Amino acid sequence: MKFAFIIDPIARLDPGHDSSVALMEAAQVLGHEVWITQFTQLGVTAGQAMATLQPVTLTPVTLGGGDQSAPEGQRWEAVPNWYQLGESVYQPLDTMDAVFMRTDPPVTVPYLYTTYVLDYVDPNKTLVINSPAGLRAANEKMYALQFTEAIPETIVSRDKQVIRDTVHRWGKAVLKPLGGKAGEGILFLADGDPNLNSMVEISTHQGLEPVMIQTYLPEAKDGDKRVILLNGEPIGAVNRIPTGSEFRGNMAVGGRVAKVAVTERDREISQQLAPRLRQDGLIFVGIDIIGGYLTEVNVTSPTGIREIDRLDGVQLGYQVIKWAVDAIKALGKG
């Protein structure tokens, strides 16, 4: 089968960390063709979504450093020229069996335009993961708000007084820009902080942009758990533990990754999300859970596969590709 991946420029990807590379590698090893493109290289001609697609061949990463019995000390190693590109061709995207939309956030207006282009991929011929309508429906911060039983106390507002009153009530809170990722712009707020007004002004762009204010979960110091969901089912998890004086657990800001189990509570949360995720075509999703509370639903380009594979000795990318192959067969192709 043919798998296309809409990714950021491949030279900028980190083969030992990025889930997109894990997925591409899995597709190749399972005997499929792997093609890449970027969200800037898509268009529509005669009602068909088109893309400049380039075939790619990967040299899979291998585990190195540390010994086999201590996976925490090991890391994925890639050869310097870990990908080889073929000739680009501008062709309809529905010549592919599956398209993975894996452009990194932020979700900008050009990103949203790309989802409209992806609406012109024939769903009877090609599986798009995640669904373009689902990507539009699910702001990564706001989507969680509908699962009221699963989330900590949370408000969304751009009003300084509302935010101040809330922080006063809770004592401690976390502020999140609605379009952020990888810990960017996440602030710890404390009642009485002399910088509180100023932080709210900066984050809301003087009251123009709403932000999320969430009650501070002290369990965050023990980790922010990433659970990977495939069609609503948890298939693996990794913990990210803040290091040093940093309160954020994100890997991008130095969070330490550690092996962690999928708990009963994680399954319960996943079950609450599953029907909605399936309805929205959100097949490959990463949810964040702190102290048993859902804090974020990542749908654009969730990460975590490489870390879970290394710590748990599994191959989640293979599971995702095999799921896609079955779904493609169910379309009556393949």
Task: Report residue 64 as tokens.
Answer: 């190195």
Catalytic: 296?
A: yes
β-sheet bridge partners, residue 224: 240
Regarding 227 and contact with ligand ADP (CB under 6 A), the answer is no
> How far apart are alpha carbons 2 and 42 in whole angstroms?
17
DSSP conformational letter for 261: P
> How far apart are alpha carbons 102 and 21 in whole angstroms?
10
Which candidate in 224, 288, 307, 309 is catalytic?
A: 288
Residues within window 152-171 making contact with ligand ADP, judged by CB under 6 A: 152
The one among 97, 280, 296, 309 contacting Mg ion by CB under 5 A: 296
Which candidate in 102, 181, 225, 248 is catalytic?
A: 248
> Residue of minimal CB distance from Mg ion?
288
Given a contact cutoff of 8 angstroms between Cβ atoms, the answer to whether 164 and 191 are in contact is: no
> How far apart are alpha carbons 28 and 34 in whole angstroms?
6
Which candidate in 176, 225, 306, 310 is catalytic?
A: 176
Catalytic: 248?
A: yes
With CA atoms as reference, report the closest residue to 155 among 164, 181, 206, 182. 164
Regarding 94 and contact with Mg ion (CB under 5 A), the answer is no
Catalytic: 298?
A: yes
> How many C-beta atoms surround the C-beta of residue 194 within 10 A?
6
Nearest approach, Cβ of 305 to ligand ADP (angstroms)? Answer: 16
Nearest approach, Cβ of 253 to ligand ADP (angstroms)? Answer: 8
Regarding 25 and contact with Mg ion (CB under 5 A), the answer is no
> How many C-beta atoms surround the C-beta of residue 234 within 10 A?
18
Given a contact cutoff of 8 angstroms between Cβ atoms, the answer to whether 24 and 5 are in contact is: yes
Regarding 307 and contact with Mg ion (CB under 5 A), the answer is no
Looking at this protein, which amino acid is placed at residue 48? Q
Nearest approach, Cβ of 256 to ligand ADP (angstroms)? Answer: 12
The one among 19, 214, 239, 300 contacting ligand ADP by CB under 6 A: 214
Residues within window 124-153 making contact with ligand ADP, judged by CB under 6 A: 152
The one among 15, 92, 249, 281 contacting ligand ADP by CB under 6 A: 249
Catalytic: 136?
A: no
The one among 104, 280, 288, 309 contacting Mg ion by CB under 5 A: 288
Nearer to Mg ion, 288 or 307 (CB): 288
Regarding 296 and contact with ligand ADP (CB under 6 A), the answer is yes
> How far apart are alpha carbons 114 and 101 in whole angstroms?
10
DSSP conformational letter for 190: E
> How many C-beta atoms surround the C-beta of residue 268 within 10 A?
12
Regarding 183 and contact with ligand ADP (CB under 6 A), the answer is yes
Regarding 225 and contact with ligand ADP (CB under 6 A), the answer is no
111 φ, ψ to 5°?
-60, -45
Looking at this protein, which amino acid is placed at residue 138? A
Residue with tokens 């009602």: 47
Regarding 260 and contact with ligand ADP (CB under 6 A), the answer is no
Residue 58 CA neighbour count, 13 Å, CB half: 27
290 φ, ψ to 5°?
-120, 125
The one among 102, 181, 225, 310 contacting ligand ADP by CB under 6 A: 181
Regarding 216 and contact with ligand ADP (CB under 6 A), the answer is yes
Regarding 174 and contact with ligand ADP (CB under 6 A), the answer is yes
> How many C-beta atoms surround the C-beta of residue 68 within 10 A?
8
Catalytic: 141?
A: yes
Nearest approach, Cβ of 228 to Mg ion (angstroms)? Answer: 13
Residues noted as catalytic: 141, 176, 226, 240, 248, 288, 296, 298
Residues of this chain that bind ligand ADP (CB under 6 A)? 152, 174, 176, 180-184, 186, 214, 216-217, 220, 224, 240, 242, 248-250, 288, 290, 295-296
Provide the binding-site residues for Mg ion, judged by CB under 5 A: 288, 296
